[in-house]
């Protein structure tokens, strides 16, 4: 079993990764079981596809929610909290978030506010959740004013990752999660980017060793960043938003819908961020080409047209200003000096971004 720790003083926690771990979860969930039961919150797809595999070593009390982004809502949050109170969940208890980023974000937020904060364990079942959202304690729901606008930082007590969960994940969702894997190479690990170029196809085809390696490297990178900058104050954690500002505009333009999954928006966004960096003379054009190629080879979009977006630069930059990170009519951009050399640039003029986008295919 691979173990990576998120070092946050008395809120530190381990991330455990092993093929088949769901079936041996009883070996590690023991300290989080009260009496002889544990509450597991999941969605209907995950429960149908993976529920029978989970051995918690105790009676599982399942709460099965509808699948999909709409579940990250006030209504579902309120119903979940009522249900947890009905089940007499106490502050010292742990609830389990068993699913993708939707379940992780919702359950994490419920845990943050139930009785002013109870514990929770993440068992992520999508590639995106395994390499990104289950680690780091960002929790949130969506509200009419926008996505993820109401939430809290609340760290889990344990993250338990079974790469075999990906066996039943739809291939499009696997590809979307893979964009976040490539992101870690692009941010700060050129050797890992080379690894993605060489092993991405095997990973996407379901190669167990490649999957585990990609998850372990990604999680180690995220754990290190979260350990240094838990609340995104120093700028270090902001690097994880590479591709997200461009991607957010594309997701907004496509209505945050299945037309463009989050990871697909991030893929096109990272290709755009590298192309923008190259145009500004910051980054070698070959690195922007390699970035687009590795994503395109995985079947991910790397252009506006590929993302199904025909809007002009003015419209797209207007979307960017609705991003949480916007302040005073501008926002920080994550740009790059090359592969593995991302940095935060707070001086980008949105008019330059709009003009750049107008020239993009």
The set of catalytic residues is 116, 138, 180, 222, 232, 237, 241, 244, 248, 262
CA angle 63, 68, 74 (to 5 degrees): 70
- Binding flag, residue 136, ligand GLY (CB under 6 A): yes
Q: Which is nearer to ligand NAD, 140 or 283 (CB)?
A: 140
Tell me which residue has its CB nearest to ligand NAD.
Answer: 101
Neighbours of 35 (CB within 10 A): 8
Measured distance CA(339)–CA(186) in Å, rounded? 5
Tell me the window of 9-17, 48-56, 131-139, 267-275 that interacts with ligand GLY (CB under 6 A): 131-139
Tokens representing 199? Answer: 């092993």
CB of 244 to ligand GLY, least distance (A): 7
- Binding flag, residue 262, ligand GLY (CB under 6 A): no
Angle between helices 313-320 and 244-253 (to 10 degrees): 110
Residue 259: phi, psi to the nearest 5? -60, -35
Tell me the window of 54-62, 132-140, 260-268, 320-328 that interacts with ligand GLY (CB under 6 A): 132-140
Residues facing residue 139 across a β-bridge: 152
- 312 half-sphere exposure, CB direction, 13 A CA radius: 3
Q: Which residues bind ligand NAD (CB under 6 A)?
A: 43, 45-46, 49-50, 67-69, 72, 99-103, 105, 125-126, 128-129, 132-133, 136, 138, 148, 165, 168-169, 173, 262
Residue with tokens 């190669």: 207
Query: Under rule CB under 6 A, how many of the chain's residues touch ligand GLY?
Result: 5
CB of 314 to ligand NAD, least distance (A): 26
The entry of ligand NAD, ligand GLY, none that residue 23 binds, CB within 5 to 8 Å by partner kind: none
CB of 305 to ligand GLY, least distance (A): 26
Contact positions with ligand GLY (CB under 6 A) in 235-254 = 237, 240
Whole-Å CA distances, 311 to 71, 251, 317: 29, 12, 10
Helix (H, G, I), strand (E, B) or coil at 269: helix
Helix (H, G, I), strand (E, B) or coil at 147: strand
The entry of ligand GLY, ligand NAD, none that residue 237 binds, CB within 5 to 8 Å by partner kind: ligand GLY
Residues 6+ apart with CB under 8 A from 340: 185, 186, 187, 188, 189, 190, 191, 192, 193
Q: Which is nearer to ligand NAD, 136 or 340 (CB)?
A: 136
Q: Which spans of this chain sit near ligand GLY (rule: CB under 6 A)?
A: 132, 136, 138, 237, 240
């Amino acid at each position: 079993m691979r173990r990576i720790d998120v070092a946050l003083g008395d809120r530190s926690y381990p991330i455990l990764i092993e093929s088949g771990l769901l079936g041996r979860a009883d070996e590690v969930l023991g300290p989080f079981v009260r009496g002889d039961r544990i509450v597991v919150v999941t969605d209907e797809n995950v429960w149908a596809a993976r529920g029978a595999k989970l051995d918690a070593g105790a009676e599982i009390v399942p709460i099965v929610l509808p699948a999909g982004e709409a579940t990250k809502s006030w209504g579902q949050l309120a119903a979940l909290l009522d249900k947890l109170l009905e089940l007499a969940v106490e502050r010292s208890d742990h609830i389990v978030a068993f699913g993708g980023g939707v379940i992780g974000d919702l359950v994490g937020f419920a845990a943050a506010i139930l009785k002013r904060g109870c514990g929770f364990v993440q068992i992520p079942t999508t590639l995106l959740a395994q390499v990104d959202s289950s680690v780091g304690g960002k929790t949130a729901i969506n509200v009419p004013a926008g996505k993820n606008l109401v939430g809290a930082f609340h760290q889990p007590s344990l993250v338990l990752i079974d790469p075999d969960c990906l066996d039943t994940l739809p291939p499009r969702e696997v590809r979307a999660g893979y964009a976040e894997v490539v992101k870690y190479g692009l941010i700060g690990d050129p050797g890992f980017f080379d690894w993605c170029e060489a092993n991405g196809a095997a990973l996407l085809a379901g190669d167990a060793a490649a999957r585990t390696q990609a998850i372990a490297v990604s999680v180690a990178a995220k754990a290190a960043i979260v350990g240094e900058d838990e609340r995104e104050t120093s700028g270090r954690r902001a690097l994880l938003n590479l591709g997200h500002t461009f991607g957010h505009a594309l997701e907004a333009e496509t209505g945050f819908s299945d037309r463009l999954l989050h990871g697909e928006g991030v893929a096109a966004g990272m290709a755009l961020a590298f192309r923008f960096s190259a145009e500004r003379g910051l980054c070698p054009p070959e690195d922007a080409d390699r970035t687009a190629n590795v994503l395109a080879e995985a079947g991910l979009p790397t252009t506006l047209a590929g993302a199904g977006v025909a809007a002009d630069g003015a419209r797209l930059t207007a979307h960017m200003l609705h991003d949480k990170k916007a302040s005073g009519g501008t926002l920080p951009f994550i740009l790059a000096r090359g592969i593995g050399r991302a940095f935060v640039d707070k001086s980008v003029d949105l008019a330059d971004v709009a003009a750049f986008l107008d020239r993009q295919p």
